[in-house]
Structure 1
C-alpha cells in the first residue's frame, strides 16, 4: 500500500522520474492553498487539504515547454497553434471514444467563468437554473450572482454511501422558468462517474423540458479503480444536440493557475449563439502559455497521468484503512474519479459548528466543509488527498488524536 511510485517515460528523451512522495515547498509562490488559510480560517497553522489542486510537482514536460517559450523574450500577440486543437481531439478520442470536430471546440477563460457566460447568453434575470446538491458550490453561487434563481434537485444517498439522481423530484421542481441544468460529471464532491443509463434518462428529461445542459467534465481524465467517464454529449442524440460540455487539462496535470479550458458544442445553433457572443467580447482568446501547456499535457502526459492516478488510488486506500483502524466513526466514500474524498462524519454526532471546531481548531486541518456543497452535505467534509503519503499520514494522525480527545 505504502509504495513509492517512481515511473519513467521511455518516449520522453529526458527520461524523467516521477516522485509523488516529494514534498514541494510552495512558500513564496502565492499559492491559494496556503495563502488563504489566515483570511479564511483565521489561523495559518493548518495542514491544507482543501482547494482542488495537487501538491505534486507539475510534470517537467509541461514546465520545459513553457521554459522553451520563455527563452524567446518577446511576449506579444500570438496566434492559436494548430497543434492545440489536434492534441485535444486526439486525447478525447483516445480516452473517451468521442470523435470531435474542430468547429465544435473553442477556448473559454475557465469553467466556472464558462458557466457564468452561458447563463448570461442563454437566460435573463429571474430565469431558473437547476443544480443537484450536494455539489460544487459555484454551481449555486454563479447563477445567484447573476440574479438567476437556483432550483435544487438534491441527490438521493444510497445505503452504500453513493448517490442516485432523483428524477421524481426533478419533475416536481422543474417549471417553465427553468432554462439551464448544470451537471457535474464526474460528480464533485462524491466522485461519481455517472452511468450511461442515468445520463440518457437525464438527457431525455432536459430535452423534453427545454433545459440546456452544461456538463462540467473537468475531472473526466481522472477516473480511477477501473471506472470509466462517459461524456454527457455521447449518450444520445438528445444529449448531443442539447448540451455544452466543458473540459480542461488543468486538474489532471496540476496547472490550474494556467487557465486552459475549452467548450465542446455539437449543435450548430447553440454553438453560433454562444461562440458568437464570446468571440465578440474576445473571451475566446487564450493567454500565450495556455496552448503550450495543453499541447504538452495531451501529447506527452499519458504515462505521468497513469502514475499519478496509481498514487492517488494508494492514497485513497491508505485513508480507508486508516479510518477503519483508527477513526471508525468517519467513513470515507471511495471516489470513482478525482483526488477528492467525501468523508461521512455523521457518526461523530457533532453539529456543524462543532464539526468545524474539531477539524480546524483541534485537528489543525483545512478541508472543505460539507454544508458549502448544499443540501445533503451536512455532517460531511471533503478531503483533498493529492499530496505526499507522509503529509496525508500526518493529517490523519492529527484528526485521530482530535477525535479521540472528544471522548
Structure 2
C-alpha cells in the first residue's frame, strides 16, 4: 500500500493531536471527534529515517549525544540544493525545537520591558513566548484582500520605532503565503533603518507547492545578514516533531557566542540520542519521500478547496503557496466564532483551529490540517460541510 494512504491509529501513542482534544477544546469526550488541528501529519516518517532509528535502537546504550559534522553538512547541502542558500556549518547552533530556540534568542537579545514586533494573524508562540518572558508585544496586523496577505508598511515601520526584535514567519503560518524577494528586502531595509534584529522562522520552508519558490531571508540580506537569526528544522518537513531538533543559523560569531553561553547556562545545548540520527537520515535520504508528499498535498488541497467552496457557498479558501494548512474564510456565512466551533465539534465532530488563536486579525477564519490519508481527508471535509451547512 502507498505509504501516504496507510492509516495508523495514533490515539494510544501519546499524540497531542489525537489525545489532548478534551483539554484544548474544553469538552467532556472527544472519542468521536476527528482532529485536523495541530500541525503534524498523519503520515509515516520517511522509511530511511525509521530505518536509521531502528538501527540506532539495536545499540542498547542511550547516553549523551551530539550533532556530528556529517549532520551539519547534510543540513548545509540540503539548504543549498533546495533553496540555493549557502550556509557555513559554523553558523549553526542546535536546539530542542524552533520554539525553544525562539525563546533563547528573545532572552539573549532583548531585555525585560523591550518590545517584540509580530504581524498577525500568525503562529501563537510568536506573541505568547515574548509575553511570558516579560517583553512587550507590538502588533502590526497584515492587510488581507481575498485571502492574500500583505504588510501595512506604514504601520510596520511605525511599530519598528519601538521594537528591539521582529519575528517573521517565512513561509507564513497560518496563511501559507510565500514572501516575495521584494517584500523581504523591504523588511531588512526597514529593520536596518531602525536597528531592529530579525528572527526568521523558516520551519515550513520545505513544504513549497509546485511552481512556487521559497526565498530564505538570509539570501536577500546582503551586508545586513548579521542582524538575522534563522530557525530551521527537519521536523515539520519530515513529520518528526516528537524527535525535537532544530537549528539557529546566525552568521555573526559574537551573537553565536552569546547564544552558546545562554544554552550552557540553561542546559539546552544538547539533543536527545535519536535527534542526530533522524536529522542526518532525513536530510541525506528524505528527498524522494518529500517530493511524493508534495504531490499528495497538491491533490488534497484541490479536493478540499473544491468540495468546501462548492458545497458551502460563501466559504472562501485561498490555495496556500506552502504548508499543508488551509486558512478558511467563513465570514460570509454569518456565524460567530463560538457558533462555528460549537457546530464543528458537536454537529460535525471535527476539530479545527479557530482563527482568533492567531490574533484578532484571524477572527472569521479556521485553520485546517489536510496532511492525512485520502480516506481521512474525505471524512474530515464531509464533517466540516455537515457542521456548517
TM-score > 0.5 by shorter chain: yes
Distance 2:224 2:235 in 1: 25
Identify the residue that residue 138 of structure 2 maps to in structure 1: 151
RMSD of the TM alignment (CA)? 1.3
SS in 1 for 2:361: coil
Extract unaligned runs of 5+ from structure 2.
none
2:221 is the counterpart of 1:236: yes
Residues 249-398 of structure 1 mapped to structure 2, 5 A cutoff: 249-398=234-383
Match of 1:32 in 2: 16
- Does structure 1 conserve the Cα–Cα contact (< 8 Å) formed by 2:66 and 2:276? no
Cα distance in 1, alignment partners of residues 100 and 65 from structure 2: 23
Which residues of structure 1 form unaligned runs of 5+?
A: 1-16
Residue 68 (structure 1) shift:
0.5
Aligned pair count reads 386
Is 1:127 matched up with 2:114?
yes
Residue deviations 1:371-399 (CA, integer Å, cap 9, x gap): 01003201100000001111111112122
Stretches of 4+ aligned residues off by more than 4 angstroms: none
Q: 1:185 aligns with which of 163, 170, 173?
A: 170
- Offset at 1:79? 3.9
Q: Please give the secondary structure, in 2, of the residue aligned with 1:222.
A: coil
| Most deviating of 357-366 and 130-139 | 357-366
Q: Normalising to structure 2: TM-score of the pair?
A: 0.96
- After TM superposition, the structure 1 stretch with the greater mean CA deviation from structure 2, 131-140 or 267-276, is 267-276
**Higher percent of residues as helix:** 2
Which one of the candidate residues 67, 72, 84 is aligned to 1:85?
Answer: 72
The DSSP-based 3-state class of the residue aligned with 2:116 is strand
- Output the CA distance in 1 between the equivalents of 2:83 and 2:387: 43
Shift of 1:401: 2.0
CA contact (8 A) 1:18 1:304 kept: no
Structure-2 separation of matches of 1:87 and 1:245:
17
